Structure 1
């Protein structure tokens, strides 16, 4: 089994969980009548299993052929979009715990920061602080901030700072602060499927259109933008995009060309062998990285999907670790912090 670099590896450190236990409004952790703890968020109510220490995560990685995990929170909990007075301490608790894991196991972990996004000054301040901590290579951003270029404009000051750092930015399905115009989903039936798959993939697809078919990223040549779940539905819908473009705007460059040439990475978390084959055809193998959601099940699923995909061994190596290595090598670490 070829060793992989997991670029989409969520983690809940105990220090962060303690901060959530002290809260009484979502996101927070509470113990229900069944005696088990649950993480309550605007996304769902999820049971907490036994705490996962860095050592436990490393054991799972070893059993699934994963050499390095790039640890991150998940934006679906909504920590980033809380008012700054609530978000900043929660983000700090997570970031400090991840940096400590990176310092203890520098050959196994890197980290993506959780950032408060209600106030750009707080976003920039925490990013500057985090990038001087051990092992931190970038940040996690909520995808609803990039459903259109109009929405993305708010984040230009942050992208300027991230560009100077050569940072990796994982844009992940999640809401932004004070978003009265955000998309609404009728989840009155089959809510898990409508929200957790259909809505998620659709919004990621819109993120891809923003990053690949506008000039938003043009000034930021040094950032590595990463979207999860193969960039939403783009590999399935690329022919439809071209077809509509030929009919409606025949003078325009084809979407397939713009998307293939865009400097955007996607991970293959939760998708199978056939979608990976489509994505290689759509984007090129050099644009796809390994992702698992950070679970033992996810790591095993992704390894199996890549192994079964009808693509070349060279393409598999690129997806497993080669493309991630290049993105990690671009990150500019402060010298004092880099000597971990």
Structure 2
């Protein structure tokens, strides 16, 4: 069985590990709270047990995207990246990082992205969908974020677009149904909308080399994109793009298996995007390494596809160097 690389694995600094999210039950929150700050007591032994050679770690959601004060967001992004860099430095052959950036201040976000990639050696950046601001939610397709996307292309690193809860004004569909919150349904709705905003805004016509990773096997988009594209052709309001929507999904996006351990969903992602666009992940500590790894290892895949998804695609995307079952 080939060694696996996991790309959506989380940690927290103390500021983001104090209050239980309303959508997490108490038993799971207790486990998450004690595991999310750890790298060696729980995380590494479980990686060894389940054949995960390398984990790319990022700050938990909503992270600095949930801050309304720009100065505090900038300071906490720097603090989180420094803390992650210290942990990675202890085990550089087993861990890598994705940067946190405070998009409340675009200039500071570009500077921190550059520092994290160039100085700290991180593999890219993770953005938790939309960003809080005193004026309301700010979405990554807005013109103000063009310098961020310019720098992403210049550095040649991907953006992991991670979900968070919908803005407060958009949660009406769940009124009286709190069981739909968070990862049950809300996260996929939020993140797929953010991804579609990027596509329909023409972002990838302006930044054709930008690469975006979606977790949870694409937040439903590999399954839904045919209908979205088909109906948009007939819609009263259409966007003028260089390519069909599906082609942007195939050219500019990758997906991971994080927290979506379903063979049928995996096959939909492969059929829509190609096996070279799918990568293994767990979503630790919110999901179980045992469940994710055991599911993947028992899938009916040819060895070329299995090897590509387990590690080769991630190695190529992140320019990782593999040697003897480990990745650097």
TM over 0.5: yes
Structure 2, unpaired ranges of 5+: 132-136, 322-327
Please list, as runs of the form range in 1=range in 2, the aligned pairs for 1:225-236 lying within 5 A after superposition.
225-236=212-223
When the two structures are aligned, how many residues end up with a matched partner? 308
In the alignment, which residue of structure 2 is the partner of 1:130? 116
Structure 1 residue 314: Cα displacement: 1.3
Q: Evaluate the alpha carbon distance shift between residue 85 and residue 257 of structure 1 in structure 2; reply closer, same or farther with a 3 A threshold.
A: closer
In the alignment, which residue of structure 1 is the partner of 2:105? 119
Q: Evaluate the alpha carbon distance shift between residue 165 and residue 330 of structure 1 in structure 2; reply closer, same or farther with a 3 A threshold.
A: farther
Structure 1 residue 265: Cα displacement: 0.8
In the alignment, which residue of structure 1 is the partner of 2:290? 300
1:70 aligns with 2:60: no
Q: For the Cα contact (< 8 Å) 1:288–1:323, is it kept in 2? A: yes
Structure 1 residue 60: Cα displacement: 1.6
In the alignment, which residue of structure 1 is the partner of 2:142? 152
Q: For the Cα contact (< 8 Å) 2:129–2:164, is it kept in 1? A: yes
CA distance in 2, matches of 1:148, 1:188: 23
Structure 1 residue 268: Cα displacement: 1.2
Q: Evaluate the alpha carbon distance shift between residue 42 and residue 315 of structure 1 in structure 2; reply closer, same or farther with a 3 A threshold.
A: same
Task: Give secondary structure in 2 for the equivalent of 1:55.
Answer: coil
Q: Provide the aligned C-alpha RMSD in A.
A: 3.4
CA distance in 2, matches of 1:282, 1:9: 25
TM-score, normalised by the number of residues in structure 2:
0.80
CA distance in 1, matches of 2:67, 2:138: 18
CA distance in 2, matches of 1:256, 1:91: 33
In the alignment, which residue of structure 1 is the partner of 2:252? 263
Which range moved further: 99-108 or 129-138? 129-138
TM-score, normalised by the number of residues in structure 1:
0.77
CA distance in 2, matches of 1:258, 1:149: 22
In the alignment, which residue of structure 1 is the partner of 2:39? 54
Q: Evaluate the alpha carbon distance shift between residue 302 and residue 141 of structure 1 in structure 2; reply closer, same or farther with a 3 A threshold.
A: same
CA distance in 2, matches of 1:6, 1:92: 24
In the alignment, which residue of structure 1 is the partner of 2:134? none
Q: Evaluate the alpha carbon distance shift between residue 200 and residue 2 of structure 1 in structure 2; reply closer, same or farther with a 3 A threshold.
A: same
Q: For the Cα contact (< 8 Å) 1:269–1:290, is it kept in 2? A: yes
CA distance in 2, matches of 1:297, 1:175: 18
Task: Give secondary structure in 2 for the equivalent of 1:144.
Answer: coil
In the alignment, which residue of structure 2 is the partner of 1:164? 154
1:133-156 Cα deviation digits (max 9, x unpaired): 3331221112136x9988433321
In the alignment, which residue of structure 2 is the partner of 1:317? 307
Which range moved further: 232-241 or 98-107? 232-241
Please list, as runs of the form range in 1=range in 2, the aligned pairs for 1:34-49 lying within 5 A after superposition.
39-40=19-20, 46-47=29-30, 48-49=33-34
CA distance in 2, matches of 1:282, 1:235: 6
CA distance in 2, matches of 1:221, 1:247: 26
Q: For the Cα contact (< 8 Å) 2:158–2:212, is it kept in 1? A: yes
1:206 aligns with 2:193: yes
**1:281 pairs with 271, 274, 295, which one?**
271
Q: For the Cα contact (< 8 Å) 1:276–1:306, is it kept in 2? A: no
Structure 1, unpaired ranges of 5+: 21-26, 30-38, 332-339
Task: Give secondary structure in 2 for the equivalent of 1:160.
Answer: helix
Structure 1 residue 172: Cα displacement: 0.8
CA distance in 2, matches of 1:94, 1:148: 21
CA distance in 1, matches of 2:242, 2:153: 27
Q: Evaluate the alpha carbon distance shift between residue 275 and residue 308 of structure 1 in structure 2; reply closer, same or farther with a 3 A threshold.
A: farther
Structure 1 residue 49: Cα displacement: 2.2
CA distance in 1, matches of 2:162, 2:306: 24
